[in-house]
Amino acid sequence: MIRLHDTMTRKKRAFEPADPKRITMYVCGPTVYGRAHIGNARPAVVFDLLRRVLEHEYPDAEVTYARNVTDVDDKIIASAEQEGVDPSVVTERYERFYLDDMGALGVNPPTIAPHATQEIGPMIEMIERLVERGNAYEAEGHVLFSVPSDPDYGSLSRRDREAMVAGARVEVAPYKRDPADFVMWKPSDEGVIGWDSPWGRGRPGWHIECSAMIRAHLGETIDIHGGGLDLIFPHHENEIAQSRCAHGGAPLARYWVHNGFVDMGSEKMSKSLGNIVTPAELLEQGHKGETLRLALLSAHYRQPLAWTEDLIAQSKAVLDRWYRLLGDVEPFGEIAPFREALRDDLNTPRAIAVINEFLKGAEGPISDDYAFFQGGAQDMLRAAAASAKALGLLTMRKDEWFQGGGDAGDIEAKIAARAEAKKNRDFTTADRIRNELKAEGIVLEDTAAGTTWRKE
């Protein structure tokens, strides 16, 4: 049984799909006008793992995971105007980059990737329905959702009305009946991307995109809706209002799952603060995608994650050790407490710690701590390898992982000999090995998670 923290109830709840044969999950995807940064990569990696966990837990179910592509938006239009190209030139380029970058982090493509520009029909339909029901109104070529028409508005973010109005962060346009009302459709000027609608030529707002796509591809009520914490208000609140009012009160999602921010020092990583680090530049610097994936999974998904050089080095050291011990091992079985950690609200730090502890057991004498495990040291290694793979790691061949630093196998053998020497308190031998490697231009770095190496 999986347990998930549900933002709507602020509780960890047992996950029970509405239909155990068909599990539906929707995550708000990228607005494609720039390169994704590590903060954008976090939900992609977290929900990729959640999908894998669901597929493992429900082997007979079809897990349908939809992640949209926002390919019409004011920032896209501005960007295309600046370049003097059609918006599709910008969106196709950055969507390709996004898929490449996330692919490098081991993120599998979602089951469905609906594009806003391909789903205008369902959006218009939903807006029409909301107008009919008295939840929306037309004003000066815009169609707005009437927040006071929905008595349950605010249930996800639990904001009072004052905070909601302040938080909407929009100048109060003269055509709004209420300052909290939000745009579902807006007019497009001549020469700007637009579609014909009952309210004239225009384009959709962002919130209606997700509501309409969820309805079109997954149904009125889905099992899991995911995204970053910053989407709770106003984006998810608005999605909920639109969908619930259009569907006679049916809830949009049964579980709301939100990931925390990635921090740079004391600030949230964000494009507007100009403090972003992208997977593309980290990969360019020679870091491997799996190192970045492990770094992103090293904190619990709901906690903030501080992105530092040390985090990357630690993650590489863990993977060096895993590849050293498990790179040639045929995966089989699994470590029960590892799976339990994932079932418990995707507790990845604990899952990773279980593998690391387990490897200590496999390397040394088998203690009572591993009494739950039936099998010898080799079986333990095989189970550890299977567990690491379940995180979307250990996907490379051992020689591939260690390539790019001279005779990697040789270096690894020397690191193992040095570790052995240190364990036996033979520091003369340990220092000699370190110095021999240094003479060859290989620098060893000892971290809490093990020893890693780099070329000088």
Q: Return the range that interacts with Zn ion (CB under 5 A); candidates 26-34, 154-162, 329-337, 439-447.
A: 26-34
Q: What does the block give as tokens for 397? A: 């061949």
Q: Return the range that interacts with Zn ion (CB under 5 A); candidates 136-144, 209-217, 269-277, 418-426.
A: 209-217
Of the candidates 225, 194, 274, the one whose C-alpha atom is nearest the C-alpha of residue 34 is 274
Residue 210 contacts Zn ion per CB under 5 A? yes
Residue 28 contacts Zn ion per CB under 5 A? yes
Whichever of 217 and 321 has its CB closer to Zn ion, that residue is: 217
Task: Report residue 140 CA to chain centroid gap.
Answer: 38
Residue 394 contacts Zn ion per CB under 5 A? no
Of the candidates 95, 20, 88, 92, the one whose C-alpha atom is nearest the C-alpha of residue 60 is 20
Residue 144, φ and ψ in degrees, nearest 5: -115, 145
Strands (DSSP E) contained in 131-201 are: 136-139, 142-145, 182-187
Residue 45 contacts Zn ion per CB under 5 A? no
What is the nearest approach in angstroms of Zn ion to the Cβ of residue 79? 20
- Alpha-carbon gap, residue 372 to 338, rounded angstroms: 12
What is the nearest approach in angstroms of Zn ion to the Cβ of residue 192? 23
12: which strand partners? 5
Residue 218 contacts Zn ion per CB under 5 A? no
Q: Return the range that interacts with Zn ion (CB under 5 A); candidates 20-28, 40-48, 172-180, 383-391.
A: 20-28
What is the nearest approach in angstroms of Zn ion to the Cβ of residue 390? 28
Whichever of 44 and 359 has its CB closer to Zn ion, that residue is: 44
Whichever of 28 and 54 has its CB closer to Zn ion, that residue is: 28
353: left (phi over 0), alpha (psi -120 to 50) or beta: alpha
Whichever of 41 and 312 has its CB closer to Zn ion, that residue is: 41
204: which strand partners? 185
What is the nearest approach in angstroms of Zn ion to the Cβ of residue 252? 10
- Alpha-carbon gap, residue 72 to 90, rounded angstroms: 10
Is residue 223 within 8 A of residue 25, CB to CB? The reply is yes
What is the nearest approach in angstroms of Zn ion to the Cβ of residue 44? 14
Q: Return the range that interacts with Zn ion (CB under 5 A); candidates 47-55, 144-152, 154-162, 205-213.
A: 205-213
Q: What does the block give as tokens for 389? A: 């793979």
Whichever of 28 and 46 has its CB closer to Zn ion, that residue is: 28
Residue 213 contacts Zn ion per CB under 5 A? no
Whichever of 43 and 87 has its CB closer to Zn ion, that residue is: 43
Whichever of 235 and 302 has its CB closer to Zn ion, that residue is: 235
What is the nearest approach in angstroms of Zn ion to the Cβ of residue 239? 6
Element housing 202 (H / E)? strand 202-204
193: left (phi over 0), alpha (psi -120 to 50) or beta: beta
Residue 112, φ and ψ in degrees, nearest 5: -135, 140
Q: Which residues bind Zn ion (CB under 5 A)?
A: 28, 210
